[in-house]
């Protein structure tokens, strides 16, 4: 069914035209380059630290020194003990935590969408799944059947998204109470950063499960369990940047919903200020209608 939306579009001040093809240097390209750059840097640090070894004679930074969440975990200890850190945390972690939260305040959770190498790894796994399904029909049928049979689990999606706030309280509260990173052994990011130590930890298992689950659900760690994303999302709600869907210009095709790696219902919302939004703007890039989805800057906290 095709409706003539021109009068409504004219009232809304939106041109009723299809979106122009995105240029060669679209934000998608820059986002991927940014993700690749940060992932390559972390890989370099892991290899450099592994080659240098860890004795008092060497000062090659451990990749753990570049984990922003370590900064959040040590914050209470740092303030209450006049500048001391919990083990495995340095000043760089604290600075990175501040950088992530400041980015969240001014540019939503863009850290998750543009920078985080763990998010990028999940994107790669999901991309590999899509490619595989496209090329091997049997895999496509298998995934489709699995998704159909597991469709009843969709009711768990919303409640499970609150899990990450529990992880945040446990990890930050535990570090404040006990003076050590209680979540470290279970943290897939920490497992990845210390992968050169070849130690089998629960965190490594969580990492493998996360990457495996990414073949069926996009960004499972970010959706349900990432404590840094939880903190970033909460701060992002106070920021001035938000997504606006112009209902008159929108076809209701829901292509944006399919493009959203966090599974947000963009197609029905008037404004998108969800703490789960990672600022990847895949919804904007995928939208076939010019002006239907726009990134806006409004009043802080209110966002309109």
Partner 1 sequence: MSLKPTIFGFLALAIFLGTIATAQTAGLWSTSGKVTTSGEKVAPTGASVEEIKGWMTLGDIAKAYNVSVAEIAQTFALPAEQATPDKPLKELESETFSVTNLRQWLAERQAQAP
Q: Which residues would be at the binding site for partner 1 (CB under 8 A)?
A: 25-27, 30-31, 34, 54-56, 58-62, 65-66, 84-85, 87, 90-92, 95-96, 98-100, 102-103, 106-108, 110-111, 114-115, 241, 279, 281, 284-285, 294-297
Q: How far is the CB of 142 from partner 1 (least distance, A)?
A: 35
Spatial separation of the C-alpha atoms in residues 267 and 247, rounded to whole Å: 9
Q: How far is the CB of 297 from partner 1 (least distance, A)?
A: 5
| Closer residue to partner 1, CB minimum distance, 95 or 146 | 95
Compute φ and ψ for 18, nearest 5 degrees. Answer: -70, 150
Whose CA is closest to 33, among 109, 129, 127, 120?
Answer: 120
| Closer residue to partner 1, CB minimum distance, 56 or 148 | 56
Number of H helices, E strands in the chain: 15, 3
Per-residue tokens: 292: 């239907």
Whose CA is closest to 187, among 161, 168, 173, 213?
Answer: 168
75-109 burial code (b ≥16 CB/10 A, e <16): bbbbeeeeeebbebbbebbbebbeebbebbbebbb
| Closer residue to partner 1, CB minimum distance, 54 or 265 | 54
| Closer residue to partner 1, CB minimum distance, 29 or 128 | 29
Whose CA is closest to 110, among 208, 263, 235?
Answer: 235
Q: How far is the CB of 74 from partner 1 (least distance, A)?
A: 12
| Closer residue to partner 1, CB minimum distance, 133 or 294 | 294
Spatial separation of the C-alpha atoms in residues 262 and 192, rounded to whole Å: 22
| Closer residue to partner 1, CB minimum distance, 28 or 251 | 28
- Could you identify the residue written with the tokens 């630290």? 49
Are residues 285 and 225 in contact, defined by beta-carbon separation less than 8 angstroms? no
Q: How far is the CB of 4 from partner 1 (least distance, A)?
A: 26
């Amino acid at each position: 069914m095709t409706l003539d939306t021109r009068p409504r579009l004219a009232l809304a001040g939106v041109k009723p035209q299809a979106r122009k093809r995105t240029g060669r240097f679209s934000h998608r390209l820059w986002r991927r380059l940014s993700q690749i750059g940060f992932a390559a840097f972390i890989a370099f640090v892991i290899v450099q630290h592994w080659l240098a070894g860890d004795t008092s004679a060497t000062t090659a930074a451990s990749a753990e020194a570049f984990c922003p969440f370590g900064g959040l975990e040590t914050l209470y200890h740092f303030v209450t003990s006049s500048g001391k850190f919990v083990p495995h945390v340095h000043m760089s972690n604290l600075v990175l935590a501040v950088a992530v939260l400041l980015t969240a305040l001014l540019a939503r959770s863009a850290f998750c969408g543009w920078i985080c190498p763990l998010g990028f790894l999940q994107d790669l796994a999901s991309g590999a799944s899509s490619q595989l399904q496209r090329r091997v029909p049997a895999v496509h049928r298998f995934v489709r059947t699995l998704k159909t049979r597991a469709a009843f689990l969709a009711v768990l999606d919303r409640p499970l998204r609150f899990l990450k706030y529990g992880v945040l309280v446990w990890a930050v509260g535990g570090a404040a109470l006990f003076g050590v990173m209680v979540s470290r052994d279970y943290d897939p990011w920490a497992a990845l950063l210390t992968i050169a130590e070849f130690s089998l930890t629960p965190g490594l298992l969580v990492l493998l499960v996360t990457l495996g689950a990414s073949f069926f659900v996009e960004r499972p760690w970010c959706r349900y369990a990432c404590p840094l994303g939880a903190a970033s999302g909460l701060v992002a709600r106070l920021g001035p940047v938000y997504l606006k869907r112009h209902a008159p210009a929108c076809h209701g095709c829901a292509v944006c919903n399919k493009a959203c790696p966090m599974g947000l219902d963009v197609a029905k919302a008037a404004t998108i200020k969800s703490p789960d939004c990672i600022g990847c703007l895949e919804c904007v890039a995928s939208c076939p209608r010019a002006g239907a989805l726009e990134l806006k800057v409004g009043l802080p906290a209110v966002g309109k």
